[in-house]
Amino acid sequence: SSLVPSNGDSAAAAAAYATHWDDLLVAEHREMKEELRDRRKTWSRRRLESSGLSLFGAHAEPESELYGEKIVRVVKPGETRLQDRFNRGDVLLLTPDGGGRDPIPSECLVIDVGKDWITAGVGPSWPQGLWKTRKAAPGAYAVRLDRTAPQAPLTAQRSALDLVRKGKAGEAAKSLADLFGNVPTSPRSKEIEENVHRALDEATEMTSFLPNQSQKDAISWALQHQVSLIRGPPGTGKTRVAALLVSTALKLPAQGAGSDNGTTQKARVLAVTHSNGAADVLLEALLQMGVPAVRLDRPASVSANVQ
């Protein structure tokens, strides 16, 4: 069934749209939070660090302040490859690790990453005791970093959806409701379904990545619908699924008319990410799968690994 009523009532459509996506956001946030908590409980420190879920043995220093946002510099002596495990835009939890009682964690946003350091915005307040420790013994403010289910984006997204629900988002509310409400819930035709499965099998044969059934279903669903959402906690293969999805899309029969001489058009895919780091990771996955890809941005923003 459709996500919104079909009676043309834009207010009801907007409310149904907002409620549906609000439920999805909350469920995704809860699942990610539980998954990360379970991994921190069961995985060794070495595994947590190597997978980019945590960083231990680091210390923090006040770096600067920009428009009221406090920025700290986290350094781990002896580390040489932090930039391979963390990216700009990552949301982490910074927790004092000095052995005191009830440390207060701070959600922070990674601004930049080097070989052995990370700069991150921690909000309008400095972490508890940071300046006091710095004055007494510079470099002694021990911290740990952990990936977290980010609260700030969830709050912002839910607030935006609430505006849509109340009809205060103008024409955007109706447009979004129409867009997501008209997504078909079954394959549009048997032919499309068969083409997608055939293209997916062909793309899989050309890579060492062997998707599980859930990942295959996600790719198949996405390529048979106008809009889709593939979600999962860190480490579940979303980047490789995205790369395989692109590879599969490129192997589908061309849509639309060809040129005047009867030749068919080659498919092209535009992939957009939320950060430079994410774009680099996706590009690397595409190149590993043999997908011809071009990265667009300022050269200084592109990782040396994919230049």
Q: What is the pTM of this model?
A: 0.53
pLDDT tens for the chain, 307 residues: list them. Answer: 334 444 446 677 778 888 888 898 899 889 988 999 999 999 999 999 988 899 999 999 999 988 888 999 999 999 988 988 888 888 899 999 866 667 888 889 899 999 999 999 998 999 888 888 888 887 789 999 999 888 877 887 788 888 878 777 665 555 555 555 544 444 456 788 888 999 999 999 888 888 888 889 889 988 887 778 887 766 778 889 999 999 999 998 765 444 445 555 677 899 988 877 788 889 988 988 889 888 887 665 666 666 6
- Which pLDDT value is given to residue 175? 56
Return the sign of the alpha-carbon dihedral for residues 12, 14, 15, 16: positive
Q: What's the CATH number of domain 1-170, 3.40.50.2300, 3.90.180.10, 3.30.365.10, 2.40.30.270?
A: 2.40.30.270
Domain ranges of the chain: 1-170, 190-306
Ordered DSSP codes for 194-254 = HHHHHHHHHHHHTSS----HHHHHHHHHHTTSSS------TTS-HHHHHHHHHHHHHTSPP
- Which pLDDT value is given to residue 73? 94
